[in-house]
Amino acid sequence: MSTLQPTTVPALPAVGDVVAERTVQLNRDALVRYAGASGDFNPIHYRDDVAASVGLPGVLAHGMLTMGIAAQPVIDWIGDPARVLDYQVRFTRPVAVDPEHGAALQIIAKAGKVDDEARTVRIDLTVTFAEQTVLGKAQLVVSFA
């Protein structure tokens, strides 16, 4: 019988501290798996001909997949997804996933605001693909209580 171990919460960061960084390589297989898990079978996420017919630069990653990938480094850092009190983003640019090379998402998570009284931290995410920001005003609020 296994027992759950309590997670160790990291120390409260200071404003401006980088709390997590990661590069995630997306490929077309990940898009197909996400489509199956989410039920989002829009063909712009797996068919080049359909994406091109509507003026897109190629097959695009699902926005919610990109959003989920972007939050994961913070969740790994904080140690418990239940500590995420709020998560919001604006989708600013699509992520075109090349059939051969995929797409590399760069994620940097910094402490943007610390509330010592509430023991919460707003984490500001910078998420880029091909040196362009793909999520705007991407912020998580995490609890240290």
pLDDT band at 8 (very low <50, low <70, confident <90, very high): confident
Domain ranges of the chain: 18-26+61-143
* φ/ψ of residue 45, rounded to 5: -95, 0
Per-residue model confidence as pLDDT tens digits over 87-110: 999 999 999 999 999 999 999 999
- Top CATH class of 18-26+61-143 equals alpha beta
Predicted confidence band of residue 4 (pLDDT cuts 50, 70, 90): low
Q: Could you give the CA distance from residue 23 to residue 56 in angstroms, rounded to a whole number?
A: 24
